[in-house]
Structure 1
Amino acid sequence: MAAGPNTRASDGDRDKVASVLREHYAQGRLTVEEFDERLEQLYTSRTYGELATLTSDLPDVDLQGLSNASSRLSERGGRPGGHQASHRALKSVWAVWAVASGINWMVWFIVGATDGFDFPYPWPLWVMGPWGVMLLLTTVVTGLGRDRNP
């Protein structure tokens, strides 16, 4: 028996549509805002008709080829632009902080070494301290530093 638009959809059906939306987002057919909006609608949809409206303006996607990719995405923790992109951005900011701190400490060391190893006040702490505290708070509050896999 064919499922009509008023037939209730399962979680598996919603996951398939989420895979289609992820693929269209990855291909640039959806903006981040559109993708997020459609995902919100997706997980509140109850029927096949509601699911069909989410992809009605998008070309068909072969779900057989996406099944492995979508399962890997869900294992790693979500949609392609959400948590993973934020996690990468946070790692980049921490890397910039580490490089800037290292350069400041190197300058401090060179100044002290060229002055007969009479090292000045450790001023790099004032550069790296407040910046590091803000990064740490951002990491802890947003939870982006935690691994989502058990």
Structure 2
Amino acid sequence: MANSPEMRASDVDRDRVAAILREHTAQGRITMEEFNERLEQLYQSKTYGELARLTADLPDVDLRHRALAKVTPAAPATRGGVHPGMRAAWGAWAAASGINWVIWLIVSVTSGDMIYPWPLWVMGPWGVILLVSTIFGNGQQKPG
């Protein structure tokens, strides 16, 4: 059944037209002032005919691909196949481990005796958790 101009529009229809107007504003076809005017008219519109008048002087825009980009989260930039958050976690692990080893070394040298290597208890469990997380990831498939 075709939508006649007299049929009442829904909020979803108004949101769709708002997205079209945003796209045309981003492409420079209408100014921000025109966009705001049309948007005000848009949310006062009740019928399909009123909605159609708001975009009558604009070319058709295919928002299907645009909507997919908004729904699908963008994959974070990776370097060497490792997520940036995971690289940061490894960096924190390395920094904490390095500090602990320096403290251990200073205490060992100043005491004149080789003390138990306690930094292993700091870096070991944390490192294992990071290693497992890096290898198995968070269960999401990488876009292919």
TM-score by length of 1: 0.45
Between Structure 1 and Structure 2, the one with more helix by share is 1
- Structure with greater Cα Rg: 2
